[in-house]
Every structure is written in C-alpha cells, then in structure tokens.
Amino acid sequence: MNNHLSIIGVPMDLGQMRRGVDMGPSAIRYAGMIERLEQLKYEIEDLGDIEIPRPKVSNPEKLDNLRNLNEIAEGSSRLAAEVDQVVEKGQFPLVLGGDHSIAMGTLAGLSKHYDNLGVIWYDAHGDLNTADSSPSGNIHGMPLAVSLGIGHEKLTSIHGYEPKIKPENIVIIGARSLDEGERVLIKEKGIKVYTMHEVDRMGMTKVMEESMDYLKDRTDGVHLSLDLDGLDPNEAPGVGTPVLGGLSYRESHLAMEMLYQSGMITSAEFVEVNPILDEKNKTATVAVGLMGSLFGESLK
C-alpha cells in the first residue's frame, strides 16, 4: 500500500436531514487517527477540510426532488479537484466524512486515473437511488447511482466526465436496507451484493475472499467506501441512518485486515460519523480502529 497518505476532511451534512455529521472529520481526528497511522510508519499530510457551501435559507426547497442539489454539486466538485491532485502527486487519498454524498466527489477525482476502478461499498444501504426512486430526496442515498452515470446531470457530470465507474466493478458488502428501485437497478446492472444473509451464511472470510477474487483481475485500482452504518448500531451508534442486524466490530476488523494483506486498496473514505448522535465519540474511535487494520496494524 502507498506509504504517503493525504487526509481530506469533508464536513458535508447537506445530503440528509440529521445535523451533526459535518463534525465527523473533526471527531475522527480527535479520536487519534493521525497518531495511529503515524505509528504504522506512514508519511501523513493532513490537507484540512474542504469548504462546503451553505444554502441561503434554512429549509431550502427541493430542486427536481433533490435536497441541496446545487450546494452538494459544488462541494463535490471541490472534493473531486482535491482528490485528483492527491492522486496526481502519487499519494493515497484518505477522505473523512461527512455524509455519504461525498463519495460522488471522491470517485470523480479518482476514476480519471484508472481504466477500471473497482469499488468496495461497505454499507447497510445500496445508495443507488435516483430522484425518481428516492423516498426522501436525500442525496446521500444516491452516490453510487450517480457514479454509474444515473441521476441528475449536475451530479453525474461532476469533474467533467461520466460515468465514473462500471457496475461490474462494484461489490456491496453488508447491505440490509435496500429500496425497491435499488433492488431493480442491482438486478438490471448485475451489481455484486453481499447482504447480511450472505455474510451470516458464508462468514466474513469467504465474503472477502470472493470479493477480492472478483475484483482483482478486472480492476486496476480499488476504492474502499466505508459507511459506519454498515456496522451494527450497537458497535457504531453515531450514524444518521442506523439499521439493526449489521456487521460486527470483529467482522469489520477482519475485512480490513484482509484488504490490507491483499494490497489492492488504492484509496479509501470513512463516512457518516455523527458525534451528536454518538456515545463518547465511540463511532469515531471505531472508525480509527478500522483504519488501523486497513493500514496494516496487527498483533503479530
């Protein structure tokens, strides 16, 4: 794995309705992320936080059934440019959220550097909604669809090109809350999904082995997009859309350790840490622990 890490904070809270997730990057830093990674002998450059534009009114109307469309598109474009520069310099982008809408900007900045960028989407949700299928109009439920080129043009065209990724290069792990429109899109596009049923039946070791085997020959880089609501709320309570029956702390550490050993991860983001909803910064501490495993921490 690249030894030079560039940290990018994205205090984005416009993709959903629950305030506080904009403090996620600060909470993760406060939980000792930089010190943890420095102990693993990485060279770290913390680039600070992207400036996110704010709506002019406290409760803006939806535009084309999309909440805060213009501000999210602008913030995502700023993130895409930052990620693009990090990759151009030969460094590993580690992005801190913020809600999961930020993945649109991350993937936009990454994908132009790869012919076949793979994505591991570690999440309770598919995030494959569109303005037509979304029950809420919240854009944090749409970034994977947008990155496939499906959705509003202001979002799909971020950083000047589309699509960013191909459906056959995606693996979703930990899904347990999929809307009907997402189920249809998954079947239509042939997206590989490991729901909690598969994780329980097969075990995390088998799920990760199959996921890595599936991606290794078809991709030239793999991005990990880890939503803390992929874990069970008992393990990670400080998230905006908790879903019971999620991945355990131990399963998640195993997954991160296996990804490190594979050497295939070329970028990562950790999102949806909301300290207002948390218990003594527990969720940010979990995120930092998982980063430790992803970047090579072990007992041996």
> What are the residues facing 227 on neighbouring strands?
271
Is 81 exposed, middle or buried (CB count within 10 Å of its CB: 0-12, 13-18, 19+)? middle
Q: Which of 84, 182, 227, 269 is catalytic?
A: 227
d(CA 136, CA 16): 9
**DSSP SS3 for 271:** strand
Is 125 known to be catalytic?
yes
d(CA 226, CA 223): 10
Is 220 known to be catalytic?
no
Six-digit token string for 265: 């991860």
Q: Which of 49, 82, 140, 159 is catalytic?
A: 140
Q: Which of 100, 152, 159, 223 is catalytic?
A: 100
Could you identify the residue written with the tokens 């570690």? 122
Is 74 known to be catalytic?
no
Q: Which of 232, 272, 278, 297 is catalytic?
A: 272
**DSSP SS3 for 142:** coil
Is 229 known to be catalytic?
yes
The answer to the question of whether 100 is labelled as a binding residue is yes
Is 127 known to be catalytic?
yes
Q: Which of 71, 123, 269, 297 is catalytic?
A: 123
The answer to the question of whether 46 is labelled as a binding residue is no
Q: Which of 82, 99, 162, 229 is catalytic?
A: 229
User: How many C-beta atoms surround the C-beta of residue 35 within 10 A?
Assistant: 11
The answer to the question of whether 125 is labelled as a binding residue is yes
The answer to the question of whether 152 is labelled as a binding residue is no
The answer to the question of whether 220 is labelled as a binding residue is no
Is 46 known to be catalytic?
no
Q: Which of 13, 22, 99, 127 is catalytic?
A: 127
Q: Is the backbone peptide bond immediately before 105 cis, with ω within 30 degrees of 0?
A: no
Q: Nearest CA to 235 among 174, 180, 192? A: 174
Q: Which of 71, 82, 99, 125 is catalytic?
A: 125
Is 100 known to be catalytic?
yes
| Binding site as annotated, residues for Mn(2+) | 100, 123, 125, 127, 227, 229
Instruction: Write out the catalytic residue numbers.
Output: 100, 123, 125, 127, 140, 227, 229, 272
| Binding site as annotated, residues | 100, 123, 125, 127, 227, 229
